[in-house]
Amino acid sequence: MTAEYSDQPLDRTDDAAEAAGRRQHDDDVPPGAVVAGLDGSDKDGTVLAFAAREATLLGAPLHLLTAQEIHAGLVGAWDAGFVPIGLEPELGDSGARVIDEARARIGREHSDLAVTASRPWGTPSQALVDASEQARIVVVGSGRKGTLERILLGTTSLDTAMHAACPVVVVGEDPGEVTRPVVVGIDGSEHSVRSATVAGDEAARRGVSLVVVTTWRLEVVDGIVVTEEGSPEWQQVEQRYRAMIDQVLQPVRAKHPDLSVEVDLRNGRPVDVLLERSQDAGLLIVGSRGRGGFAGMALGSVSHKLLQRALVPVGVVRAEPRTD
């Protein structure tokens, strides 16, 4: 069926644009809210479970967000200033159902939470990145269940983790046990320093231990590649890494003196070690980039692989918190 268009161009003035943006009840994201990215799929259940629990722990409002995309074939007409007749109500109804179902579930399971919602126009990833400017945490589903889907991580979760202004938690089929440890990977980079801070705060809120993982692989001492475990050269390398770990953890320990911290320093591949330790964790946290033992830790490298393969929720943290 061919779409029909009204012959009245859209008013592009600022006031009209603002009004158009709000006619779908597109409420502002409350500052410091936990944002749950929803799309009407089965993964919404675990996203809601994690986000509601996190909002409760933080004492923060919960904001439900579902984006309303314009079909590619209609973008030209939309950009030209013509509204497809009947399109806006149809898309709005779909988004409303997603929000209404989520509100009903939160009302049954977390009736004490303050809940707001929005249905912005645009791609899900862009809507979530925009929301991250006000949010404390953004929670999104991984969009994967089988082996192939683990390899092909959803673009929404990947794009959001790459570009969001706040920490992003990607949740798979399991929202994680809140009573299990929080695991964080650090390497001494600026990103991992921030990751350790976020992980320490989260572990303290949950009342669980913090597991700090650092790995190293190829190290040279006095011109010799270190390969013999327990040798003086091996011990020298580990001493250097432990000094780095102590420095990174100093503010965490100062802020949370009663927090139980376990340090796991190993010679090995960072992805393998973090996946192993995450098996008994409630949450795995990594920086969006790194160096050293986590060389090249950018999305597409260690962080990307963990998002693809970890069975527990994975939090991705930028180097610096938002300051505006």
Second-level CATH architecture of 182-317: 3-Layer(aba) Sandwich (3.40)
What mean pLDDT comes out for the span 256-267? 97
* Contact of 262 with 212, CB cutoff 8 Å: yes
User: Which residue ranges does the chain devote to CATH 3.40.50.620?
Assistant: 14-171
Is residue 206 scored above 50 in pLDDT? yes
**Residue 197 to residue 190: CA distance in whole angstroms:** 11
Per-residue pLDDT, 153: 53
Q: Is CATH 1.10.3720.10 what the domain over 14-171 is classified as, yes or no?
A: no
- Higher-confidence residue of 155 and 125: namely 125
Say what the pLDDT of residue 92 is: 54
Burial pattern 31-46, b for ≥16 Cβ within 10 A else e, equals eebbbbbbbeeebbbb
Task: Give me the pLDDT at residue 221, please.
Answer: 86
Q: What is the mean pLDDT of residues 257-269?
A: 97
CB atoms within 10 A of CB 93: 9
Which residue spans within 51-181 are E strands per DSSP? 62-65, 115-118, 137-141, 168-171
Indicate where the chain has its CATH 3.40.50.12370 domain(s). 182-317
What confidence category does residue 222 fall into, taking pLDDT thresholds of 50, 70 and 90? Answer: confident
* Model pTM score: 0.82
Quick count: other Cβ atoms within 10 Å of Cβ 176?
Answer: 23
**Of the candidate ranges 14-23, 67-76, 304-313, the one whose mean pLDDT is the lowest:** 14-23
The distance between the two most distant Cα atoms of the chain, rounded to a whole number of Å, is 80
Note the residue count of the chain: 324
Q: Inter-axis angle of helices 302-309 and 270-278, to 10 degrees? A: 40
